[in-house]
Structure 1
Amino acid sequence: MEGLAGRIILVWGFKRAVLTILAGAIGVLALAPIGFFAAMFVSFTLLVWLMDGAAASPDSGYLGRLWPSFLTGWLFGFGYFVAGLWWLGHALMIDAEEFAWALPLALIGLPAVLAIFYGLATVIARLFWSDGMGRIAALALGFGLAEWLRSFAFTGFPWNAIGYGAMPVPLMMQSAHLIGTLGVTALAVFAFSAPALLGTRQGAIPGLSLAALLFAGHLGYGAYALSRPEAPVAAGPQPVVRIVQPAIDQSDKMDSAADREAIFEKHLSLSVQPAKQGGKRPDIIVWPETAIPFLITDNKDALSRIADTLDDDQILIAGAVRAEDMGPGAAPRYYNSIYVIDGRGQIIGASDKVHLVPFGEYLPFEPFFRRLGIENIVEMPGGFSAAASRSLLSMPNGLKLYPLICYEIIFPNEMSPQIADAGAILNVTNDAWFGDTPGPYQHFLQARVTAVEYGLPLIRSANTGISAFVDARGRVISGVDFNQQGFVDATLSSATFSRSDASSRSTYFWLLLGALGLISLISRVGFISRMN
């Protein structure tokens, strides 16, 4: 190991750049759909050694001395995000004539921007860098802060946070309930980086011991949490919920009115299929994001068709576009919404999307980009508007659902205090934009981790999948496989895991960063003393 570490530390120039990008790309093997978490040990061990060799010229100024570390982190992040997000280009190719020009921005531009956060992580680490265990604590501190910043800066995009690589299965998800995904990320980077200590020997015994203890605690708490009995279920009958997965290709949703009518009828047909194996008729039926392919409030026949399809006591929850009239002479506002429709065809509830996708659902700095001829990917005049707040969806039987549309479920800041009153999380999405790529699998894993964080069961309806019922510990109860047309019924248990609110997880996260910072600082001071 010492010989290998020495060669990597001394590698320079083009070879160093390629190796750093490769180190980041290797880490993606830990993410869904592969879930080979051991790849992260290779990835971060290489990063530590590359950071050891990220030396600047002695006569460089302050920023100049930090530049090699920033570049190392940026190259690492660039490899990680290119390998982990290349599938975003699939959405642009659905309407290739209009958006193929933007493919380099999705494949190269976005990863280049996101990699800046990892460049900042390694700069923070460099400020505390030493020659022992302290440097992997510094790296964990840097990545913890960088992922926290990435969760909200410039609207946020916390997709594929490093911590997800340490949570491929329910046994390894439970720590998120205590310290959140950000806390898991910080500790995971420490553990993933620990093998690098074998290459330099300095601090190997305490560093590897602490990393082993953290990893054992991660698995041990997972086993403990999965063995605990569920919280008591509320009294009374539990509703049977049907998730509909129509598996409609995204290009078909952009065709003629006749095609859109056929899509609507397909959803209705799947909704009225008899329950499998003599099961009970569903009380609640859930359709995915934008399942209703027209403005339902302008189509009274559609509401009549729903009323004809449902029994009087059934409820339909469906993704749709909602239009809001802004008065004479003003263009309407459009919202990506969820409607609750009763068996008589009446809309009895709705919730609008709060966190929109930049360049997908709205244009940031719209006047500037429109002058350049850049439009939204979603065909909607003026794009979507964001809701000011989120509304719980209340069912007639008293069940309250916390609604999250598409990628809202990966944002910790989208969980308002109202979630404490919810009996389950509802996530509707249309991952058909991403085709048969890792994207839908990554999205599903992150949704399951959110269920674990908040100790709530998850109802997830996705157009092409993966649709599933997930319990409060991230275990898939039943579902429909990716790209399969069908439905699945399940009795929704309101059983939850012990609740832990976001404020306590945030407190634990900052305490962890404080501990990592203290280890880094003590090691740095000792390192400087030895150098003098």
Structure 2
Amino acid sequence: MIINRVIRSGNNSNKYIFSCLLNLVAGCLMILAFAPWSWYPIAVPIIAVVLHNWLKYSPKKAFKLGILFGFSYALGSSYWVYYSLHDYGQALIFLAAAAAVVFAAILSLFFAVLAALVSYHRRYPPAFLYLLIFPALWVLAEWARSVLFVGFPWNLLGQILIDSPWYGILPLFGILGGSAVVAICAGAVVYFFRLQTPAKTVFGILFGLFLTATSALQFIEWTRPTSDELKASVIQANIPQKLKFDRPYLQRLVNQYLDLSMQHTDSDLILWPETAIPIYADMLEKQLTSVGEQLNEQGTVLLTGIFYRDREQGKRYNSLMNVNSNDFYHKRRLVPFGEYIPLRSVFEVFSNWIIIPMSDLHAAEMTPILDVSDYNAGVSICYEIAFANDIADSLPAADFLINVSNDSWFGDSLAPHQMLQMARVRAAENERYMVRATNTGISAIIDHRGRIVEQSELFEVGSISYDIIIRKGITPYAQWRDMPILIWLMISLLAAWLTAWYTNKKRKELRQ
């Protein structure tokens, strides 16, 4: 008898070790659903397998499995942190690697809590568990990851829909709505295999109708095109990050941008990337004024990334400047430890072992709109593109969207591809054309459905141009943001909990 217990204990231990490996591998494979591969169909079976696995164990063990799944998923999504800190921030190898690992470990906690909560509800009625509770908890975890602390909504599940027939969900319910649909599909797969044959047929038909109805949303347009067009040109100078902040190289850098721009003076808009001019605007005031006057005569507006300092308030900003009118947009959401040190009294030591130029900036509070040739451009800088609500702040006033970034910080990693995919999602959520300029790529012009109409290649010098269509109106997502999904989330969980409570109450009454 004792021997049998030992054998069973050993078997259970081996099964749990297998589950640990399964979750690690599943998290790694999830990255393939995102750019640059965009194998979006694999996300549903991967999540279905992980969900089924979590439900085999207690909340405590599921918590550990969630950490493993979340860690490999997060590390695969954000390993570029190492490149930013080591290659360009001059941090020691082991410190940069440790920072990337710790960052992924922190993000894994959201998945760990998700797994534990799913396991806690494993005795609930299967239909509620798989089709309501699990999707709602997944969305809750992503929402929390997007808003807690400084927020990091990177590679949210709904992002993969931009390359699928279900991208029409994005302008209706946003990226969290997309995440909900993918999670429902994963839960439905597990639920399907639990059903008996007659019920499987009925459920399969209903699930097919659900997929058909949600894919039909791609044929609905919530905004309207106008007859106005604006010719936009994007300049990608491919300046090496190590030379970008080298002061003797500055004039050569500016001349390179100007030379590339002079080929596009027939454009209404010429866009340079984030910090294309890596000094304060007032330090190059005369040259910028001269360029602005010259372009005004030709009817061309130049926007460039640049730094701005407010001497009166003692503040410095990462900005986008309209060279013609001398108007500025100052970045509202900064990258922690890259553009500012959060909780400086605690993390001051961080600045002693990493060297990032212009890393003590301030966040602005302003409307993200710049005037471009009598049109309103909704603007964002770099990291802001990950935050759906921030981009929607410019609607309905914005006639088109602009994003500038300096993706050279990410090196030759997945990050430039993922950033471009996020930009496509933002364009689709708001049904606006987006003009995106980056220093080393990938620069692109994206239409109102999130499709790339022109793009550059990574680490190449060049430019792209396209006649974008001005659109008016506002999408349901831009109007209501995440509120409908959060209401659905609360109703789903409340309905499941009340049903389970009522069912248990009736069972107790029958026993009595």
Question: Normalising by the residue count of structure 1, what TM-score does the alignment of the two structures yield?
Answer: 0.85
Unaligned stretches of 5+ residues in structure 1: 1-7, 56-65, 276-280
Asked if 1:164 is matched to 2:156, the reply is no
Distance 1:436 1:272, change over 3 A: same
- 2:235 and 2:437 in contact (8 A); partners too: yes
Q: CA deviation at 1:204?
A: 5.2
What residue is the counterpart of 1:443 in the other structure? 419
Unaligned stretches of 5+ residues in structure 2: 1-10
Amino acid at match of 1:162: L
Match of 2:24 among 13, 21, 25: 21
Asked if 1:196 is matched to 2:190, the reply is yes
- 2:89 and 2:355 in contact (8 A); partners too: no
What residue is the counterpart of 2:271 in the other structure? 286
The aligned runs of 1:396-411 (5 Å cut-off) are 397-411=373-387
What residue is the counterpart of 2:366 in the other structure? 389
Q: CA deviation at 1:78?
A: 1.1
Distance 1:221 1:413 in 2: 21
* SS at 1:262 equivalent: helix
Q: CA deviation at 1:249?
A: 2.0
Distance 1:54 1:178 in 2: 36
Q: CA deviation at 1:117?
A: 1.3
Could you tell which deviates more after superposition, 35-44 or 516-525? Answer: 516-525
Distance 1:496 1:376 in 2: 45
Match of 2:61 among 53, 64, 68: 68
What residue is the counterpart of 2:339 in the other structure? 361
Per-residue Cα deviation, 1:111-138 (whole angstroms, up to 9, x for no partner): 1111111222223323433362322232
Distance 2:222 2:150 in 1: 38
Distance 1:207 1:11 in 2: 35
Q: How many residues align?
A: 493
Distance 1:341 1:412, change over 3 A: same
- 1:244 and 1:285 in contact (8 A); partners too: yes
Q: CA deviation at 1:390?
A: 3.0
Amino acid at match of 2:61: P
Distance 1:519 1:82 in 2: 35
What residue is the counterpart of 1:216 in the other structure? 212
- 1:86 and 1:106 in contact (8 A); partners too: no
Distance 1:73 1:311, change over 3 A: same
Asked if 1:339 is matched to 2:321, the reply is yes
Could you tell which deviates more after superposition, 160-169 or 515-524? Answer: 515-524
- 1:87 and 1:434 in contact (8 A); partners too: yes
- 1:21 and 1:76 in contact (8 A); partners too: yes
What residue is the counterpart of 2:8 in the other structure? none
CA-based RMSD: 2.9
What residue is the counterpart of 1:63 in the other structure? none
- 2:192 and 2:203 in contact (8 A); partners too: no
What residue is the counterpart of 1:59 in the other structure? none
Could you tell which deviates more after superposition, 427-436 or 120-129? Answer: 120-129
Asked if 1:349 is matched to 2:342, the reply is no
Q: CA deviation at 1:210?
A: 4.8
Distance 1:526 1:77 in 2: 34
Asked if 1:266 is matched to 2:265, the reply is no
What residue is the counterpart of 2:7 in the other structure? none
Distance 1:444 1:527 in 2: 48
Asked if 1:310 is matched to 2:295, the reply is yes
What residue is the counterpart of 1:112 in the other structure? 105
What residue is the counterpart of 2:5 in the other structure? none
Q: CA deviation at 1:438?
A: 1.3
Match of 1:143 among 134, 138, 143: 138
* SS at 1:403 equivalent: strand
- 1:473 and 1:497 in contact (8 A); partners too: no
- 2:270 and 2:301 in contact (8 A); partners too: yes
Distance 1:42 1:364, change over 3 A: same
Q: CA deviation at 1:391?
A: 4.1
State percent identity of aligned pairs: 25
Q: CA deviation at 1:144?
A: 0.8
Distance 2:203 2:109 in 1: 28
Amino acid at match of 2:258: L
Distance 1:468 1:429 in 2: 11
Q: CA deviation at 1:41?
A: 2.2
Distance 1:314 1:104, change over 3 A: same
What residue is the counterpart of 2:116 in the other structure? 123
Amino acid at match of 1:273: Q
Amino acid at match of 2:233: R
Question: Normalising by the residue count of structure 2, what TM-score does the alignment of the two structures yield?
Answer: 0.88
What residue is the counterpart of 2:243 in the other structure? 252
- 2:91 and 2:354 in contact (8 A); partners too: no
Amino acid at match of 1:436: D
Per-residue Cα deviation, 1:243-279 (whole angstroms, up to 9, x for no partner): 1111222122133x2222211111111100157xxxx
What residue is the counterpart of 1:175 in the other structure? 169
Distance 1:99 1:388, change over 3 A: farther
Distance 1:152 1:494, change over 3 A: same
What residue is the counterpart of 1:475 in the other structure? 451
- 1:9 and 1:52 in contact (8 A); partners too: no
What residue is the counterpart of 1:432 in the other structure? 408
Per-residue Cα deviation, 1:427-486 (whole angstroms, up to 9, x for no partner): 111111112221111111111111111121111111122212212111222222333221
Distance 1:214 1:516 in 2: 17
Per-residue Cα deviation, 1:179-217 (whole angstroms, up to 9, x for no partner): 111111112111023322355447756665554333322
What residue is the counterpart of 2:489 in the other structure? 513
Distance 1:207 1:321 in 2: 57
Distance 2:203 2:249 in 1: 61
Q: CA deviation at 1:527?
A: 7.8
Q: CA deviation at 1:306?
A: 2.3
Match of 2:38 among 30, 35, 38: 35
Per-residue Cα deviation, 1:213-247 (whole angstroms, up to 9, x for no partner): 3332232212x13xx5971415xx53322111112
What residue is the counterpart of 1:47 in the other structure? 50
